[in-house]
């Protein structure tokens, strides 16, 4: 009799834990939440089968109440914000490197420019934008315009 209660409460605890993990830490997967729901339903049906309808009703109502309260306090306590990434990335592409880049410098594209890609100049590799639609990899290019942190290039054979 005691082991029956241990089994039911273990299944309910595992079900609650899986559902909270699904909601707070890995939302959208639904597999973990479905396992939690399956554990809870198994525990409730086991309570009905082992102890009859009266105690089964108590387990059902208790389970629903505990699940609602646990989910409510999981969101309200803001304990989960400790795991949130609060940093902001405010850097920009080619930031601080544009000063040394000059219009007319020549280089080679190291990726396809469609129209944005990467090109290598004597100062290093930079993100560039083609003034034409598409420039293939390993095409010789020239800088034609610099606007803030954006470098515009065209192929040399044009």
Residue 100: pLDDT over 70? yes
Residue 7 belongs to what H/E stretch? helix 2-24
CATH of domain 98-155: 2.40.50.140
What's the predicted TM-score (pTM) here? 0.48
Model confidence pLDDT, tens digit, residues 30-56: 788 889 889 999 999 999 998 899 988
pLDDT for the residue numbered 93: 60
Residue 141: pLDDT over 90? yes
Average pLDDT value for residue range 64-75: 80
Share of the chain above pLDDT 90, in %: 27
Residue 78: pLDDT over 70? no
Q: Is the peptide bond before 75 cis (omega within 30 degrees of 0)?
A: no
Average pLDDT value for residue range 91-119: 81
Residue 80: pLDDT over 80? no
Q: How many CB atoms lie within 10 A of CB 103?
A: 11
pLDDT averaged over every residue in the chain = 84
Structural domain spans, the chain: 2-83, 98-155
**Which position has the higher pLDDT, 79 or 71?**
71
Q: Could you give the C-alpha distances from 111 to 34, 108, 118, 132, 141, in angstroms and in order?
A: 44, 9, 5, 15, 12
CB neighbours of 64 closer than 8 A, spacing ≥ 6? none
């Amino acid at each position: 009799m005691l082991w029956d209660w241990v089994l039911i409460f273990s299944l309910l605890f595992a079900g609650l834990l899986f559902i909270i993990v699904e909601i707070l830490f890995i939302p959208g997967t639904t597999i973990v939440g479905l396992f939690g729901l399956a554990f809870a339903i198994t525990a409730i049906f086991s309570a009905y089968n082992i102890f009859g309808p009266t105690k089964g009703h108590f387990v059902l109502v208790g389970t629903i109440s505990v699940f609602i309260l646990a989910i409510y306090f999981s969101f309200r306590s803001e304990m989960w914000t400790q795991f949130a990434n609060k940093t902001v990335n405010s850097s920009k592409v080619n930031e601080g490197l544009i000063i040394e880049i000059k219009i007319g410098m020549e280089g080679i594209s190291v990726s396809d420019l469609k129209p944005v890609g990467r090109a290598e100049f004597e100062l290093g590799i930079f993100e560039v934008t083609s003034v034409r639609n598409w420039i293939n990899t390993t095409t010789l290019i020239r800088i034609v315009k610099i606007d803030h942190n954006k470098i515009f290039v065209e192929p040399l054979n044009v």
